[in-house]
């Protein structure tokens, strides 16, 4: 692909990330290991969503994840399954 043919960025406003409630949290809370399933995954996602619940940039984060098709993790209080359901 030639340099002039790269796709445009969906958003150039990334400043919201610095106000995220998750900024100093362990990323492992928001992203599951490959082997995680069932109740353990549900508990981790619930804990991540609890961090998001009172986050001042939750809506921007969720909008970013939906707009970019983010395939992994909890973003803006939405899990991978939540985002898939929202797109359906």
Q: pLDDT tens, position by position, for the chain (88 residues)?
A: 445 554 445 555 778 889 999 999 999 999 999 899 999 999 999 999 999 999 999 999 999 999 999 999 999 999 999 999 998 8
Q: Is the model's pTM score more than 0.85?
A: no
**Amino acid 2: pLDDT:** 46
Q: What is the 3-state secondary structure (H, E, C) of 18-75?
A: HHCCCCCCCHHHCCCCCCCCHHHHHHHHHHHHHHHHCCCCHHHHHHHHHHHCCCCCCE
């Amino acid at each position: 692909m030639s340099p002039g043919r790269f796709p445009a960025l969906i958003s150039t406003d990334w400043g919201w990330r610095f106000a995220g409630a998750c900024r100093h949290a362990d990323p492992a809370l928001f992203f599951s290991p490959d082997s995680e399933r069932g109740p353990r995954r549900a508990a981790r996602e619930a804990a991540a969503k609890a961090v998001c619940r009172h986050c001042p940039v939750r809506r921007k984060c969720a909008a970013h994840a939906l707009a970019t098709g983010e395939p992994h993790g909890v973003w803006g209080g939405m899990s991978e399954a939540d985002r898939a359901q929202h797109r359906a």
